[in-house]
Structure 1
């Protein structure tokens, strides 16, 4: 039986700093971090509950790197922003604020159900967290 899912993939100028922020401020767990000979993060896997993200150091040399840009390179804009389901959203929000996440949409109750917020990490990626779940 095959397993299907989605894993957002991101590139960062300073992947080590990004991993530290994502772990401390947003509650991810670094599962695997692979480095090149110079010590740069080439591939990292971070877990949030049963969800994962993958990230690495931004570079424009590889085939994939030529297809992507970081927010700084496109005027700070994002074309995608992952959403993660969190049961204890108020505590998650407080922790994000404590660790200097830039809140772009404060925590609130949504008309369609659930409660959530959106923030930016230090390199400008938008992260969404909330209690709304399409699975229930």
Structure 2
């Protein structure tokens, strides 16, 4: 049975199709659902990586989320990967803008930073944040 993601970052792109291509081919995400609006824009897409998910869509659709996010700047998203260097090599070979190469951190983790086609910063590392037991949604 598939596991549900509790938290899903949501991003809007001027060119959502190009974002989907970069995230799947450059970063190794798996494309799930992709829904278009009547004009052919990506209204909603779901991409998974491990047990996490990111949702994205096109800017300028006029929807509530799009309207609320108007003028919002780039965001940052962290994604856990098992092999930081292999992930970096894949992204680099694809031509992703690597803004900080893989490096070891003082707290024992290893990560690198990349910028997507529209300026969002993605951090890929082997750090695994622990979620404390607490109320379930």
Aligned residue number for residue 125 of structure 2: 130
Name the counterpart of 2:32. 31
Question: Closer, same or farther in 2 for the Cα pair 1:60/1:31, shift >3 Å?
Answer: closer
State which of 78, 84, 102 in structure 2 corresponds to 1:83.
78
Give the aligned partner of residue 7 of structure 2. Answer: 6
- Alpha carbons 2:5, 2:52 under 8 Å: kept: no
Counterpart in the other structure of 1:42: 43
* 1:61 Cα offset (Å): 2.2
Unaligned stretches of 5+ residues in structure 2: 132-137
1:22 aligns with 2:35: no
Runs of 4+ in 1 over 6 A off after TM superposition: none
Q: Would the alpha carbon gap of residues 60 and 38 (structure 1) be closer, same or farther in structure 2, given more than 3 Å must change? A: closer
In structure 1, the residue matched to 2:108 is 113
Give, in whole Å, the separation in 1 of the partners of 2:40 and 2:5: 32
Q: Which residue of 2 aligns with 1:54?
A: 55
The two structures have a TM-score, normalised by structure 1, of 0.86
**Which ranges in structure 1 are unaligned for 5 or more consecutive residues?**
none
For residues 98-129 of structure 1, give each alpha carbon's deviation from its aligned partner in whole angstroms, at most 9, with x where no partner exists.
11111112110010111000100111111010
Q: RMSD across aligned C-alpha pairs, in angstroms?
A: 1.8
Q: TM-score, normalised by structure 2?
A: 0.86
